[in-house]
Chain A
Amino acid sequence: MWKTRRAEAEGKPKQPRTAIRPLRLSRDRTYWRETFEAYWYLLPAFLVLGAFVFYPFFSAFKLSLFKWNSLTPPGDFIGFENYRYIFHDKYFWKDMWHTFYYVGITIPVTLTLAILVATLLNKGLRALAFARTSFFLSYISPIVAMVMVWRWMYNTDYGLINYFLSLFHIDAVAWLNDPHYALPAVIILSVWHYVGYQAIILLAGMQNIEQQYYDAAKVDGATGFQTWWSVTVPLLSPQIFFVFIISLIGSFKVFTEVYVLFNGPGPLRSAETLVYYIIRSAGRIDTATNHTGRAAAASVVLFGIIFLFTIIQLTLTQKRVHYD
């Protein structure tokens, strides 16, 4: 029975038709009148975004075609030379690979854990407000506090993680000083940092699922796991999707976690990401010189990648996501 309900819900048209259907001619006129009105609604937001986001972005795009010179900005026009440079820079490709590695592991792991945490918190346990606040606190604690604690967790000799590993007779790992473990260390830190925030969003979604679906599942004799898998997860798909998109965009832009953990790009630049590359090129790290044009070119490439992934995701998931 609960399966039928789901099917019904899926087949249901998304938007009910409006009760009033005016004539075609007047509809066109309403359309343009509505367009005019809508533009007024968009105006305040777009004025601000136009001046402080779109305009600087297009100027960044323009900068990617110039050899930056701050004395006579934007400097000399050099066509696609900046792009040629970064595409021939082996560190650009390494950083690209690190970024994909990071995104490819962080997102599924965080999301899976977040669903499990949300499920746990949805068991009707007491002290829920406390748990929620703890998860939120970890999200708002100052980053330096976070880093200090994690530096201890990762400490080769007295860190908590190596202590747990030793219980399973696994040798101590030099988390912060071994090129093979640097990126995993960033991933673990990120998972920890974002899992609470994501879990809160998912938990809220779970609490919004109507009891009738669970009742129906019970009638059909579904076990706890079956109910979770066939009711909770599908009905949570809009939240999962939202969290997925937002965290995908966020993870591609990973920088701070790397920088604060290693105070640099990690041993042998093994945790250097694309945004790290951009910020380094722009001369904001150590004493690098200012290659704003290269930084702009790398930003444009990164933008293209995220954009592509978001589009693919939007089209792929649009059909699968279950809307209530």
Chain B
Amino acid sequence: MLRKLMLVGLAAVVLFGMAAIAQEPVTIEFWHAMSSGHQPNLQKLVDDFKVAYPYITVTLVYQGSYGALQGKVDAAVVAGNLPAIAQVYENWVTPIASILYPIGNFMTDAEKADILDGLVPSNTYNGVLTTVPFNKSIMVLYYNKSLVTTPPTTWAEFFEMSKALTVDTDGDGKINRYGTAFRPAANPEQFLIFLEQAGGSILNADWTEVTLNNAAGKAAAEFVGSLIPYSYITSEYMSDHISDAAMFVDTSAGIAYNQKAATNAGFELGVATLPAGPANFNSMIQGTNVAVFNTPNLTQAQKDAAVLLAKFLIRPENTVFWAEKSGYQPVTKSAYATQEWLNWVSTHDYQTQMSKQMLNAFSQILHPNYGDMRNVLSTGFEEIMRGVVPPLEGLESMAAEIEALLE
């Protein structure tokens, strides 16, 4: 009897052992564009992943800037040697959505529901969660603490303060410091934020009609138009013009550089959520997601491993670790509730505001021509802000150009 039991036990051990062995070692590449300052943190995540899944080896492959990474992904699509997983922007992969491996199909409903609401649409293709958010930043309001004591909470306050803070300090008839600043060519998202806050959108829900120039769009255009006299317009980084404006809307990812620039200029920088428009105070999320590819050069085991990695990266502890180290924002709701993150926020004042803004956010639409639409917005928004065309006229011509991109 005992012998029998022992045999059964042995058989069970062997079977389990075989099951473990059956997990053939698998190696996957993860293409990214993170500079060397971020690389050790990314490596740490990958090392932790190796501990959790010893049979999977992830090779991090640095591919240069985002532009270079995009070029490489494009070339690899044609040549057929895509990696299992890569960091991607939405509009790189919208044209090739059919070769994405839908990560969401391998996630529980709870896991999917945990992703921040603002991030779900920009990762969902044909109703299926396909990519998962990775390094995300949000547009927030930065302000010069020595000039602004209470940041504006509404459009009206924003306008009044911008006006009041625009000054000619030396009385030579030229403005030395503006109330606010815009980077219209580099950041048409600044306009999209006002559009969203007025309750508008570029297109209607099923992308059949341009809604940019409806009533909400007009309100947004008129509002930015009213700010022109009090706005410093540039296409350079705000950190290079930190003293030119008292407050400005910029990405949360720029905090480190903006703060250093402010230190050099001799003041302290504050961070606040955006002033609210007629509809809301939502802001726009930017940054990359991770995509798993479904191409013939990849084995099923590699795709499975990549899905595991994608899911691993959005585990609360990992998205929090990444956010703390990199300055990007956590991407899941549960992450914001972890003790670790609460501790971090309590010692990093600006994070309170950024976190609040992350929960009130939207992201870009996944229209295949979004890249072209963004170019239209970038050119048109700059023409408005530099006073080349009146705001409403500029809005109409942008709408007309976007209309042409719908076909």
Contact = CB atoms under 8 A, between A and B. Distances in A.
Interface string B366-377: 001111101100
A266 B382 CA distance: 11
A267 B67 contact: no
Contact of A289 (B67, B236, B369): B369
Given A177-B233, A284-B71, A285-B67, A267 B386 contact: yes
Interface residues on B, range: 20 to 34
Given A71-B96, A289-B95, A267 B185 contact: yes
A290 B372 contact: no
B95 A70 contact: yes
Nearest to B99: A71
A70 B96 contact: yes
B383 A283 contact: no
Contacts of B375: 280, 286, 288
B379 interface: yes
Contacts of A264: 185-186, 235
**Which one of B71, B74, B368, B383 has the greatest number of beta carbons of chain A within 10 Å?**
B74
A179 B71 CA distance: 30
Contacts of B96: 70-71
Interface in B166-209: 185-186
B77 A70 contact: yes
A158 to B, nearest CB: 12
B154 interface: no
Interface residues on A, range: 20 to 34
Nearest to A280: B375
B78 A73 contact: yes
A290 B78 CA distance: 13
Interface string A62-105: 00000001110100000000000000000000000000000000
Given A176-B236, A289-B91, A289-B369, 5 more contacts: A71-B99, A177-B234, A264-B235, A268-B382, A289-B372
Interface of B: 67, 70-71, 74, 77-78, 89, 91-92, 95-96, 98-99, 185-186, 233-237, 240, 368-372, 374-375, 378-379, 382-383, 386, 388
Interface of A: 69-71, 73, 151, 176-177, 179, 262-269, 280, 283-290
30 contacts: A69-B95, A70-B95, A71-B98, A73-B78, A176-B236, A177-B233, A177-B235, A263-B237, A264-B186, A267-B233, A267-B235, A267-B386, A268-B185, A268-B388, A269-B185, A269-B379, A269-B382, A280-B375, A283-B70, A283-B74, A286-B186, A287-B89, A287-B92, A287-B374, A288-B372, A289-B91, A289-B371, A290-B74, A290-B95, A290-B371
Q: Which 10 A-B pairs have the closest CB atoms?
A: A289-B371, A70-B77, A288-B371, A264-B235, A287-B371, A73-B78, A284-B67, A287-B91, A70-B78, A289-B372
